[in-house]
């Protein structure tokens, strides 16, 4: 940022005072207005300008109005496909005073434009205070730079939690004028900092609990009101603290916080001093003798007296659900039982998130009876809500409007049954939600082909609807699964199925589900009669390679067909890049688990013929958008078999007893070719490459020549070197193992 020189800055301010003194025009400004404008100018980093210039004032006002409109648009606009709000966006404190202190005496020389600058400033200030133990002993440069207005403006407008935290650290040390009242940081800025810490991307780093606790304790000491969502944020951070799998100590820390919150809400508790495994205090220790409720004493939270804070600090359903989630993540049955008992004693009705947490707990323990019991209780809750709505409206709801599993709940239920080996139930669930996508496509096809086989299509559609109705009834009666009408499969749905199929050794279902995912998230394509077979094969997982015939057919294309072909390839590449990295990793894991050695006498022609026999997706010439109804009807079993436990257990045991001939090296090589078609800018994780190398090692018999070729092709395509440093310079266990494998392979082939 360009800063004005010292002389030019002083001249501009003095010229402004002269113009105001002479009364030029109607732009008379008070000294406070001049100070505010100068501070706003420094905060927003504009170019040098003269205070009082009407053109510059209009420019600054336009900038403020633009920021206000942008903030209002992001906060108030509903999330649509074309105009979605930014994830984690926190509304700026526009319209509030963010400036304080005296006018600038010299131009700023301390940078505060980046997170690194702010962290360096905070570290320097803390080191000075630690060395001198006196804030007044700070160097004069920190007093003459008007840092407070800039830091307050950053805290009021930034969307980066790290920058906001560094600015907050610096503000706590910078001295204020003697005539300025406390606190050093306004309450609104502290509340916004907590919102930024809550909205930061997951997973939360280690130390986030200490940050939230520091801000909340400072709020209480300054006489501010601690809101209930801030207590819930502290409760959520206490049970995680940056650990991938929390321990029982984290649950006890969250439990102590909830106990203090309950005591504070009743107005009879005191601050506690429990500590987390990280060494920080759990409670807001020393918060006055009256506890968090405040009562009517001077140590109350609200600053203005009254019993409002006591009502706000009583735990709600979010508090108990957060505690239950912590208990489930510890996988300790006693902790889960205790959290459930606390929720029942509170007299609150468990919400969908509490049921999903219990569903996750029973699924991990492979307790399908507990899964069905949770689904039964969830269905009872939905029926009670339906009855209440019917009583309020005075009429019975239509069948299409009845409630059921939402999108998130559906994915949890699908994962629960797939994780426990019940692929028949997972297939049935997928078949029902897939029909919600297939029905509009079938209607469009019926409109286009009304003159051709209309009676047969209607009869086929009627049979299909009857089968789906029987399947939905079977799911509801046997497994307590009722799916809402508007639920569609999303990326998580497809990934869950692909991972389950790969783990249990069903490669054909893996690839068909991947094709369904690509067909769903790519916009609809023209009909087959309007396009050639070569253009339709660009969306297939294993497209047939006919290079010569492709060139001959392409010479007969017009400009419109060539443009369409290029758009199809671009959309295919984009879809593979954005949605298929996780799917590839799952399939590579399946090869590492179920891979078999190929026969040495197989030639290239026989391997390509075997590829077409094993994978009907590669042999077909129609797009995944065509004949969707026929494909998934023939692929999935009839309604009675998906819900029969005997067939599922026998099929799984047989697949484990005999190796699947589809998991071979030619099939993996064909899949690897499509993997290399991802964009070179694709961010690959080390576990994806580790399972890729493991898959080739199993299917090739640890052939060093093949493994070296895989390493070289990956490094040439994505610019990633398996040297143990990791993709971003911070390697983990998989990165170290990859480096060790690469060293052994290259030594064996050198």
For 56-78, the pLDDT digits (tens) are: 445 545 545 555 555 555 444 44
Asked whether residue 612 is assigned to any structural domain, the reply reads yes
Q: Which residue has the higher pLDDT, 601 or 58?
A: 58
Q: How confident is the model at residue 104 (pLDDT cuts 50, 70, 90)?
A: very low
Q: Is the separation of the CB atoms in 107 and 141 below 8 Å?
A: no
Instruction: Please tell me whether residues 495 and 513 are part of one structural domain.
Output: yes
Residue 230, Ramachandran bin (φ over 0: left; ψ between -120 and 50: alpha; else beta): alpha
pLDDT of 103 higher than 80: no
Smallest CA-to-CA distance from 430 within 650, 648, 651, 636 is with: 636
pLDDT of residue 565: 54
3-state secondary structure of 100: coil
Q: Is the separation of the CB atoms in 238 and 209 below 8 Å?
A: yes
451 is in which domain, residue-wise? 410-546+563-657
Instruction: Please tell me whether residues 308 and 324 are part of one structural domain.
Output: no
Average pLDDT over residues 108-134: 78
Average pLDDT over residues 497-513: 91
Q: Which residues pair with 281 in a beta bridge?
A: 275
pLDDT of 652 higher than 60: no
Q: How confident is the model at residue 691 (pLDDT cuts 50, 70, 90)?
A: very high
Q: Is the separation of the CB atoms in 115 and 163 below 8 Å?
A: yes
Q: How far apart are CA 280 and CA 703, in angstroms?
A: 52
Q: How far apart are CA 734 and CA 387, in angstroms?
A: 53
pLDDT of 511 higher than 80: yes
Q: How confident is the model at residue 270 (pLDDT cuts 50, 70, 90)?
A: very low
Worst-scoring range by mean pLDDT, 164-178, 492-506, 629-643? 629-643
Q: How far apart are CA 640 and CA 652, in angstroms?
A: 18
Phi–psi pair at 145, nearest 5 degrees: -100, -5
Of 278, 297, 314, the one marking the end of a domain is: 314
Instruction: Please tell me whether residues 367 and 505 are part of one structural domain.
Output: no
Asked whether residue 126 is assigned to any structural domain, the reply reads no
| CB-CB neighbours of 345 under 10 Å | 9
Q: Which residues pair with 483 in a beta bridge?
A: 405
Using a 10 angstrom Cβ sphere, with 0-12 exposed, 13-18 middle and 19 or more buried, the burial of residue 394 is exposed
Worst-scoring range by mean pLDDT, 436-440, 510-514, 621-625? 621-625
pLDDT of 370 higher than 90: yes
Q: How confident is the model at residue 296 (pLDDT cuts 50, 70, 90)?
A: very low
Mean pLDDT of the chain: 69
Q: Is the separation of the CB atoms in 311 and 243 below 8 Å?
A: no
Instruction: Please tell me whether residues 643 and 697 are part of one structural domain.
Output: no
Instruction: Please tell me whether residues 526 and 610 are part of one structural domain.
Output: yes
Q: How confident is the model at residue 204 (pLDDT cuts 50, 70, 90)?
A: confident
Instruction: Please tell me whether residues 736 and 596 are part of one structural domain.
Output: no
**Which tokens in the block code for residue 726?**
């990791």
Q: How confident is the model at residue 530 (pLDDT cuts 50, 70, 90)?
A: very low
Asked whether residue 417 is assigned to any structural domain, the reply reads yes
pLDDT of residue 518: 78
3-state secondary structure of 490: coil
Average pLDDT over residues 125-152: 73
Of 597, 626, 657, the one marking the end of a domain is: 657
pLDDT of 362 higher than 90: yes
Q: How confident is the model at residue 304 (pLDDT cuts 50, 70, 90)?
A: very low
Side-chain half-sphere of 290: how many Cα atoms within 13 Å? 18
- For 383-421, write each residue's pLDDT tens digit: 888 788 777 776 665 555 567 888 889 999 999 999 999
Instruction: Please tell me whether residues 267 and 343 are part of one structural domain.
Output: no
pLDDT of 136 higher than 80: no
Asked whether residue 229 is assigned to any structural domain, the reply reads yes
Q: How confident is the model at residue 129 (pLDDT cuts 50, 70, 90)?
A: confident
The dihedral sign for the CA sequence 103, 106, 109, 110: negative
Phi–psi pair at 87, nearest 5 degrees: -65, 130
Q: Which residue has the higher pLDDT, 251 or 454?
A: 251
Q: What share of the chain is helix, strand, coil (3-state, %, to 5)?
A: 65, 0, 35
Average pLDDT over residues 303-326: 70
Instruction: Please tell me whether residues 234 and 363 are part of one structural domain.
Output: no
pLDDT of residue 6: 42
Instruction: Please tell me whether residues 270 and 308 are part of one structural domain.
Output: yes
Instruction: Please tell me whether residues 218 and 280 are part of one structural domain.
Output: yes
Instruction: Please tell me whether residues 429 and 499 are part of one structural domain.
Output: yes
Maximum average pLDDT range among 245-249, 448-452, 597-601:
245-249
Average pLDDT over residues 35-52: 42
How many Å is the Cα radius of gyration of the chain?
32
- For 426-452, write each residue's pLDDT tens digit: 999 999 998 877 554 445 555 555 555
Maximum average pLDDT range among 380-384, 571-575, 711-715:
711-715
Count the domains in the chain: 4
Asked whether residue 504 is assigned to any structural domain, the reply reads yes
Q: Which residue has the higher pLDDT, 515 or 566?
A: 515
Average pLDDT over residues 482-496: 89
Instruction: Please tell me whether residues 379 and 527 are part of one structural domain.
Output: no
pTM reported for the whole predicted model: 0.68
Q: Which residue has the higher pLDDT, 317 or 531?
A: 317
C-alpha pair distances (Å), 184 with each of 104, 113, 151, 299: 19, 22, 12, 19
Asked whether residue 496 is assigned to any structural domain, the reply reads yes
Helix and strand element counts for the chain (H, E): 33, 0
Asked whether residue 669 is assigned to any structural domain, the reply reads no
**Which tokens in the block code for residue 318?**
């979010």
Asked whether residue 448 is assigned to any structural domain, the reply reads yes
Of 314, 349, 373, the one marking the end of a domain is: 314
């Amino acid at each position: 940022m360009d800063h004005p020189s010292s002389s030019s800055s002083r001249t501009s301010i003095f010229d402004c005072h002269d113009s105001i003194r002479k009364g030029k025009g109607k732009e008379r400004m008070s000294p406070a207005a001049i100070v505010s404008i100068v501070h706003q100018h420094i905060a927003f980093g504009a170019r040098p300008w003269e205070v009082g210039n009407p053109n510059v004032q209009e420019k600054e006002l336009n900038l403020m109005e633009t920021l206000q409109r942008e903030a209002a648009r992001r906060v108030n606009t509903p999330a649509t496909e074309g105009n979605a709000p930014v994830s984690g966006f926190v509304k700026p404190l526009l319209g509030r005073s963010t400036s304080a202190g005296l006018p600038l005496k010299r131009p700023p020389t301390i940078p505060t434009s980046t997170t690194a600058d702010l962290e360096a400033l905070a570290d320097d200030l803390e080191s000075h205070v630690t060395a001198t133990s006196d804030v007044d002993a700070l160097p004069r440069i920190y007093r003459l730079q008007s840092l407070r207005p800039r830091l307050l403006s950053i805290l009021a407008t930034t969307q980066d939690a790290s920058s906001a935290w560094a600015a907050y650290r610096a503000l706590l040390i910078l001295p204020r004028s003697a005539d300025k009242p406390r606190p050093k940081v306004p309450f609104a800025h502290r509340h916004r900092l907590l919102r930024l810490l809550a909205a930061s991307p997951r997973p939360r780093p280690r130390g986030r609990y200490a940050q939230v606790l520091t801000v909340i304790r400072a709020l209480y000491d300054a006489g501010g009101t601690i809101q209930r969502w801030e207590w819930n944020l502290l409760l959520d951070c206490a049970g995680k603290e940056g650990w991938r799998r929390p321990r029982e100590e984290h649950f006890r820390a969250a439990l102590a916080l909830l106990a203090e919150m309950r005591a504070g809400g009743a107005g009879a508790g005191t601050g506690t001093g429990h500590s987390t495994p990280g060494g920080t205090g759990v409670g807001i220790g020393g918060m006055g003798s009256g506890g968090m409720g405040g009562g009517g004493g001077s140590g109350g939270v609200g600053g203005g007296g009254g019993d409002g804070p006591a009502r706000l600090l009583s735990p709600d359903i979010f508090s108990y659900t957060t505690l239950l989630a912590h208990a489930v993540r510890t996988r300790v049955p006693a902790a889960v039982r205790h959290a459930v008992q606390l929720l029942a004693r509170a007299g609150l009705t468990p919400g969908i998130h509490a049921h999903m947490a219990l569903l996750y707990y029973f699924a991990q323990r492979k307790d399908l009876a507990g899964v069905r019991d949770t689904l039964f209780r969830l269905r009872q809750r939905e029926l009670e809500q339906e009855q209440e709505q019917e009583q309020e409206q005075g009429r019975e709801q239509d069948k299409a409007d009845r409630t059921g599993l939402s999108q998130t709940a559906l994915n949890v239920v699908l994962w629960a049954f797939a994780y426990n080996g019940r692929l028949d139930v997972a297939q049935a669930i997928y078949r029902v939600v897939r029909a919600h996508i297939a029905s509009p496509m079938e209607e469009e096809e019926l409109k286009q082909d009304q003159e051709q086989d209309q009676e047969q299509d209607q009869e086929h559609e009627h049979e299909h609807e009857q089968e789906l109705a029987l399947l939905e009834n079977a799911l509801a009666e046997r497994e307590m699964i009722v799916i809402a009408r508007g639920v569609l499969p999303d990326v998580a749905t497809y990934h869950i199925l692909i991972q389950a199929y790969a783990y249990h050794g069903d490669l054909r279902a893996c690839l068909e589900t991947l094709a369904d995912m690509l067909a769903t998230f790519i916009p609809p394509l023209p009909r087959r009669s309007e396009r050639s077979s070569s253009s339709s094969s660009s969306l297939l997982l294993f497209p047939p390679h006919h290079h010569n015939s492709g060139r001959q057919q392409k010479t007969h294309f017009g400009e419109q067909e060539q443009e369409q072909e290029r758009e199809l390839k671009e959309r295919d590449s984009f879809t593979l890049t954005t949605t298929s990295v996780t799917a590839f990793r799952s399939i590579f894991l399946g090869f590492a688990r179920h891979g078999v050695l190929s026969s040495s006498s197989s030639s290239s022609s026989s391997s390509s013929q075997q590829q077409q026999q094993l994978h009907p997706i590669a042999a077909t010439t129609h797009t995944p958008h065509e004949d969707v109804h026929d494909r998934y009807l023939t692929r999935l079993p009839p309604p009675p078999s998906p819900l029969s436990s005997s067939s599922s257990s026998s099929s799984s045991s047989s697949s484990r007893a005999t190796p699947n001939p589809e998991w071979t090296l030619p099939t993996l090589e064909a899949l690897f070719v499509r993997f290399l078609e991802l964009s070179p800018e694709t961010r690959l994780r080390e576990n994806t490459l580790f399972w890729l190398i493991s898959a080739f090692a199993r299917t090739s018999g640890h052939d060093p020549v093949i493994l070296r070729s895989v390493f070289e092709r990956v490094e040439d395509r994505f610019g990633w070197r398996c040297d143990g440093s990791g993709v971003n310079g911070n390697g983990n266990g998989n990165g170290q193992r990859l480096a060790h494998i690469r060293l052994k392979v290259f030594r064996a082939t050198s």
